[in-house]
Amino acid sequence: MGAGHGHRLHFHGHSVVHRAPAHLKVLVLLGFVLTVVATPREWYPVFGGYLVLLLGVVLLARVPLTYLLPRMVVEVPFLVFAALMPFVAEGPRVAVPLGGWEVSLSESGLLAAWGLVAKGTLGVLASLTLAATTEPADVLRGLQRLRMPDLVVQIMGFMIRYLDVVTGDLGRMVTAMRSRGVDPRSPRHWPALARTLGALFVRSYERGERVHLAMLSRGYDGKLPEGVK
Amino acid sequence: MHVPDGFLDAPTSVATGVVAAAGVGIALRKARAELDDRTAPMAGLVAAFVFAGQMINFPVGAGTSGHLLGGALAAVLVGPWTGALCISVVLLVQGLFMADGGLTALGTNITLMGLAGVFVGYGAFRLVLLVLPRRLGSVPLAAALGALVSVPAVAAVFSLLFAVGGTADIAFGKVLVTMVGWHTVIGIGEAVITGLVVSAVVASRPDLVYGARGLAGRRPLLAEEVAA
């Protein structure tokens, strides 16, 4: 991966966690989240243990929590969903005083909401830790060692490599639209937005064709040489 | 829309993981038959395009916004197999590199959006195309209807999975009605944008649109004019 294509989530460092082999980290992460998901949600102290373990790894990696926490917003829609659970779930209900009101909430719904929040949060934090401590290129090499099909790894590699190029393309188009008084969010301007996306597709597709020809001219035979992922 | 960890229990997550792996395996073979050694760069760039397209938000009312899922769009533009492959790669990258969607839910997400979304969308697109006149102008309309059907269909499949392996005690009917109802609203936005995008590509490069193959018609060579 060339310079200037740094990943948004990666936090540069040289800790033990940063230096650990990527395939090992992916395996440990997968094992960890599977264990978390399989843990019965009534085992409250165990989740505390998971959190301490995870925070220990974050501490060891010397990634500041202030770096990870704002990036956990991807979870927000599901916190909303979890918050709705106690209101819509079946089963016996309990009255909970909430700001002067007595609100009738479902017991099983409260339990389900707790489970969602706990497991979801642990999962997001663990995934963020992997992303923060591992360069995308290393994750790809790790996946290859874990026997993920070579072609899938290559496609992922190309996607990551050109992600900033394509989103940059779109960003410039949207800036151009905005400077001409178009609001991309408004349904009134959807036709303009759609033409932009159509142009972006044609550009991306043609870029793919050019990249393929450039690869052929450098001797591509279906496999990428070592060290360019 | 990405399912996080802990939403479905472990057995269901593993089962959808197996379905997803099988589906991606077949999609890989079919896409390769279509694209040959262009597969890696082309699918990679289309995946990057889908990712960029998903960054566009649109309001769906009540102050919330949805974003393009792109399943039907990808299927119509590059074909269902390559489309499924691209969406799956987008989900893989989002799960592994951006913590978007849980790692244990990766199989669920790929099964839902990469397989169900793409194939339901493409199936509906083909069916609508059978009814409409065989003209290039029918392609965007069929794509829009495909997108309109695909989003609530994904929501329905999710409700089904939630009934099997959900971690909350909610009646199936309630989940189904809420999910499908809500996603029909999102589906309308998805349909309009999908139709307009396909129509923009059909207008400029009809040869690139997989769903328009055989409809584009050959343009006559203007050899005499050049010779004259």
Residues A129-161 pLDDT 10s: 888 888 888 888 888 888 888 888 989 989 998
B148 vs B163, more confident: B148
Supply the pLDDT for residue B70.
87
Distance separating alpha carbons of residues A22 and A24, to the nearest angstrom? 5
Closest CA to B23 of B83, B73, B100: B83
> Is pLDDT of A3 > 50?
no
Give the one of B4, B58, B195 whose C-beta lies nearest to A120's C-beta.
Answer: B4
Average pLDDT for chain B: 86
Question: Is there a contact between A106 and B169 if contact means CB atoms under 8 Å apart?
Answer: yes
Give the one of A77, A119, A184 whose C-beta lies nearest to B6's C-beta.
Answer: A119
**Nearby residues of B123 by Cβ (< 8 Å), 6 or more positions away:** B146
Question: Is there a contact between A36 and B4 if contact means CB atoms under 8 Å apart?
Answer: no
- Report yes or no: B58 and B128 within 8 Å, Cβ to Cβ: no
The nearest alpha carbon in chain A to B52 belongs to: A167
Tell which CATH architecture fits domain B10-216. Answer: Orthogonal Bundle (1.10)
Reduced to 3 states (helix: H, G, I; strand: E, B; else coil), residue A139 is helix
Supply the pLDDT for residue B226.
56
Give the one of B10, B45, B55 whose C-beta lies nearest to A37's C-beta.
Answer: B10
- Report yes or no: A116 and A78 within 8 Å, Cβ to Cβ: yes
The winner for highest mean pLDDT among A57-66, A161-170, A215-224 is A161-170
B186-200 b/e with 16+ CB inside 10 Å = b?
Answer: bbbbbbbbbbbbbbb
- Domain ranges in chain A are 16-80+109-139, 149-216
B9 contacts on A by Cβ (under 8 Å) = 37-38
Residues B56-65 pLDDT 10s: 776 665 555 6
Reported confidence tier of residue A4, pLDDT bands at 50, 70, 90: very low
- Domain ranges in chain B are 10-216
Measure in Å the smallest separation between the Cα of B167 and chain A Cα atoms. Answer: 6
Distance separating alpha carbons of residues B140 and A194, to the nearest angstrom? 12
Give the pLDDT mean for B96-125: 89
Residues B34-57 pLDDT 10s: 888 888 889 999 999 999 988 877
Reported confidence tier of residue A227, pLDDT bands at 50, 70, 90: low
ipTM for the assembly: 0.87
Beta bridge partners of A102: A97
> Is pLDDT of A100 > 90?
no
- Where does residue B201 fall: left (phi above 0), alpha (psi -120 to 50 degrees), or beta otherwise? alpha
Supply the pLDDT for residue A8.
67
Question: Is there a contact between A155 and B201 if contact means CB atoms under 8 Å apart?
Answer: no
Distance separating alpha carbons of residues A77 and B186, to the nearest angstrom? 15
The nearest alpha carbon in chain B to A78 belongs to: B4
